Amino acid sequence: MIRKTVANASEALQGVENGMTLMLGGFGLCGIPENAISELVRLGVKDLSCISNNAGVDDFGLGLLLQERQVKKMISSYVGENAEFERQMLSGELEVELTPQGTLAEKCRAAKSGFPAFYTPAGFGTEVAIGKETREFNGKMYVLEEAFHADFSFVKAWKGDTAGNLIFKGTARNFNPCMCGAATVTVAEVEELVPAGTLDPNAIHVPGIFVQRIFQGENYEKRIEQLTLRERSST
């Protein structure tokens, strides 16, 4: 059995260099690769192009990379929780490519599956379609979208084994699974790392063939973007 485990985030990120394109999993602040992001900040790599559903918040997630001016380009579908992101975008410091959420997920999945491109109706007739090939199918117009090309993909799972098989929890399944195998190197950090053969094969969401490196993360904060509580009843 091939062992894909590495000791920590530092070892997992070996080979990351300036100017690379990175995929980072998660949805909002749910299921983000916290340890990998912290290591990217520590390494100080610059001019990164980051593919992620969102840009984190000002002091957490990808917001940490934005604070250190390590990101050259963000490819995202939702960026409304980060004031520093907004400032950099409006000032022209940061290149931004906004992509419909489903298209973003499919561009990752296409890269994972080996498809160079696909047609989607999302974005036709908007700025999203400018400069792209369009085509009619059964009376409906579609936009040709190319699959992503990334150097590293960083994902976070609830549980994994030494062979790289992964299980995700809840909303963390939105983008993490489709980013596994969508880059030259996929790095998975997990809350619990178990020996190969421990996981129920029927419960595995991503097989280890899509993962090159895996390690057990630590000190997860698991922040909530917007905490809304019901007012206490007076009765």
The phi and psi torsions of 62 (rounded to 5 degrees) equal -65, -15
What lies within 8 Å, CB to CB, of 14 at 6+ separation is none
Q: Do 187 and 156 meet the contact criterion of CB atoms below 8 Å apart?
A: no
Closest CA to 153 of 179, 189, 134, 123: 179
Tokens of 76: 């995202």
Residue located via tokens 């963000």: 74
- Residue by residue, pLDDT tens for the chain (235 residues) are 577 999 999 999 999 999 999 999 999 889 999 999 999 999 999 999 999 998 888 889 999 999 999 999 999 998 877 889 889 999 999 999 999 999 999 999 999 999 999 999 999 999 999 999 999 999 999 999 999 999 999 999 999 999 999 999 999 999 999 999 999 999 999 999 999 999 999 999 999 999 999 999 999 988 887 778 888 777 6
Check residue 235 and give its pLDDT: 65
Cα–Cα distances in Å, from 203 out to 67, 192, 206, 209, 212? Answer: 38, 15, 9, 16, 20
Check residue 1 and give its pLDDT: 57
**What is this structure's pTM?**
0.92
For the chain, the first-to-last Cα distance in angstroms comes to 61
The phi and psi torsions of 154 (rounded to 5 degrees) equal -115, 120
Check residue 59 and give its pLDDT: 87
DSSP letter (8 states) at residue 172: G
Q: Do 185 and 151 meet the contact criterion of CB atoms below 8 Å apart?
A: yes
What radius of gyration, in Å, describes the C-alpha atoms of the chain?
Answer: 18
210 in helix, strand or coil?
helix
